[in-house]
Structure 1
């Protein structure tokens, strides 16, 4: 395997860790800033919106520019955002830092995947992209819990500094190893979003958005859930680790299961299972005493991570199936839909915490994968209605 792909994956690991570490840092940040955890959740919303909106815009602006320079610029801005977060003296400054990190992380992700394709031979391009995306998976499994642990031991600012140092190492290696003059694909923003008009694309993106909305109503606010179950905040790195281990296993199993069952069946199963686990979380906290609720909530993280991470690969496969020739456009749009969902989930979850106990998060979150199932059913019904008879 080309070693440069590994370093692109490490860059994806560093830039993606920030997106998933919030669950472990929000209680620390809220205590430091003197605000509620739900208000601190605006950081997740700001980062995710910047990622979702900034990625297609910045990718269009970067156009055919040298990918080596674009990757370097993205990593430099990402490090600057982490440095600003670590040095911030107000919540507003920290919010601005999230916007910088979100936009630069999105630009890096899009450019790194395109660079992986350019570096690989035609028969190995899928494997090359999978290698880079593997960095994101391991960010969930290892990056988030480790950064949360660092934050709990040495303060939340240190977590940002550690991520920035890792990004610096990646920048140094990639700047020296990537070839000069590797051009990007010049597409306007209108060309990038034109794929939305193809049959099946927009409903599929809606399914992605709804699924991630429900998931991040819980992921972003694991701390209030843990407290409601009688657990200390210090247990959050362990919860994130259990979720991450399940995510790695689910990501691997998804490809095998989708090949056997088909991506559509895999997605339906993931949506149903996710809604069931969300309801189970609320039931555990509401109905059981703390000595049982706490351990069960930690234990359910692993199967929830497994189920949660069977969805993205199957959904990507289903999306590509709608228009294989537009995969280079539809897959980035799917990533934007994911981060719009993360932003929506963190915002809705935060507002719910202002008016209801944390135990209600699971019940509310379950509504979104169920809504995604309705979208799938209506899309299928619409397709049948448009198929001519005879």
Structure 2
């Protein structure tokens, strides 16, 4: 593995940590800032919306600027935003610093994916992308619990200090060890946008629908699992999911290089749909040891296809428009965060009209729709294009 990739992984790791740690800090922030939990929760919404808007916007505006310089500046702004989050005196200011952090993250993550592809051979792109995306997953599995522990042991402000320190280390690593990387040939925004044909747009829609389906269940996983197992503390199941997600990134990258992005993506979406729907079937069980075992199995398995589809999808997108890889990946990141936001909204709608037991089935249906849409896209691209992926 190219050691330079580890620097980029460190960057996506701390971004993932910053993204997910906020959930564990909400009660502390709520008490300290004298706002309700619901109001504090809007910090998560603000981060997701800012990221979804910022990724394609800044990806387009910065597409002709030096890659290494943008990586340094975006991570430096991210570090400063988190340092400011640790010292702000009002909730309004914290709200603004979270938006600033999200915008910086929205620039860095697609750039890190673009850089990873340029640091390795074409045959290793899928694996390189999987390592970069694995950084975000490790942030979920390891970084967020560490940040939450720091916040509980001291105050929530020290969690942001932790994120800021690691971010500054990443800045130094990028500056010292990454080479100057050749950018795509300079083109105008209009020329690049011409490459956004309906195949790319429909593939981004696959990303949105698939992610919406996955996060419908993830957002409401606590009441789902508690209803099946009668266990209030579901941390062990979340840890199993995180382990599965980590392996999913790596396995997805491996199979993308071995059997191609389209086949890997279709297999991932199919498996993901089945595993998500299984939560609704498990709700038919009475709380028992058997139910706990079955939920544990599904918990560790569903992260594999759920995160395994990301390297395949992004590799597929790059192949559709290699000259605009950064901009395409920025739109892909935006689609991902749009799906995260829609997942909570749609899942809440399912619960309001039925019950939490139907969320898994609804998730499975959405992911199945994403699979069917991609099958149509894959056929549309034709045999000639497929051979290039």
Q: TM-score, normalised by structure 2?
A: 0.78
1:331 to 325, 329, 332: 329
Match of 2:50 in 1: 50
1:284 to 278, 282, 285: 282
Conserved? CA contact 1:46–1:343, under 8 Å: no
Which sits farther off after the overlay, 311-320 or 8-17?
Answer: 311-320
Match of 2:338 in 1: 340
SS at match of 1:310: helix
Q: In the superposition, relative to structure 1, how do residues 13 and 380 fare at CA in structure 2: closer, same or farther (>3 Å)?
A: closer
2:320 and 2:181 mapped to 1: Cα distance? Answer: 30
Over residues 34-77 of structure 1, what are the superposed CA-to-partner deviations in whole Å (9 max), with x where a residue is unaligned?
334xx765444332222222123223333444444433331232
Q: In the superposition, relative to structure 1, how do residues 204 and 280 fare at CA in structure 2: closer, same or farther (>3 Å)?
A: same
1:123 and 1:258 mapped to 2: Cα distance? Answer: 12
Over residues 336-357 of structure 1, what are the superposed CA-to-partner deviations in whole Å (9 max), with x where a residue is unaligned?
2222212222333355566665
1:152 and 1:298 mapped to 2: Cα distance? Answer: 27
2:355 and 2:31 mapped to 1: Cα distance? Answer: 19
1:27 and 1:357 mapped to 2: Cα distance? Answer: 26
1:358 and 1:245 mapped to 2: Cα distance? Answer: 25
Match of 1:303 in 2: 301
Over residues 122-144 of structure 1, what are the superposed CA-to-partner deviations in whole Å (9 max), with x where a residue is unaligned?
67983665554443343344333
Q: In the superposition, relative to structure 1, how do residues 219 and 101 fare at CA in structure 2: closer, same or farther (>3 Å)?
A: farther
1:44 and 1:289 mapped to 2: Cα distance? Answer: 32
Q: In the superposition, relative to structure 1, how do residues 63 and 258 fare at CA in structure 2: closer, same or farther (>3 Å)?
A: closer
Conserved? CA contact 1:64–1:183, under 8 Å: no
Match of 2:371 in 1: 373
2:80 and 2:261 mapped to 1: Cα distance? Answer: 39
Q: What RMSD in Å do the two structures reach over aligned CA positions?
A: 3.7
In structure 2, runs of 5+ residues without a counterpart are: 383-389
Give the CA deviation at 1:212.
0.7
1:288 and 1:269 mapped to 2: Cα distance? Answer: 31
Match of 2:78 in 1: 78
Over residues 300-356 of structure 1, what are the superposed CA-to-partner deviations in whole Å (9 max), with x where a residue is unaligned?
221011121221122233334445555454333322222221222233335556666
Conserved? CA contact 1:271–1:370, under 8 Å: yes
Conserved? CA contact 1:41–1:220, under 8 Å: no
Structure 1 residues 118-129: aligned runs within 5 Å: 120=119, 126=125
Equivalences, count? 377
1:371 and 1:270 mapped to 2: Cα distance? Answer: 13
Give the CA deviation at 1:221.
3.8
Match of 1:166 in 2: 166
Match of 1:34 in 2: 36
Structure 1 residues 78-157: aligned runs within 5 Å: 78-87=78-87, 92-116=92-116, 120=119, 126=125, 131-151=131-151, 154=154, 156-157=156-157
1:360 and 1:157 mapped to 2: Cα distance? Answer: 38
Q: In the superposition, relative to structure 1, how do residues 261 and 383 fare at CA in structure 2: closer, same or farther (>3 Å)?
A: closer
Conserved? CA contact 2:266–2:375, under 8 Å: no
SS at match of 1:231: coil
Q: TM-score, normalised by structure 1?
A: 0.78
2:278 and 2:191 mapped to 1: Cα distance? Answer: 43
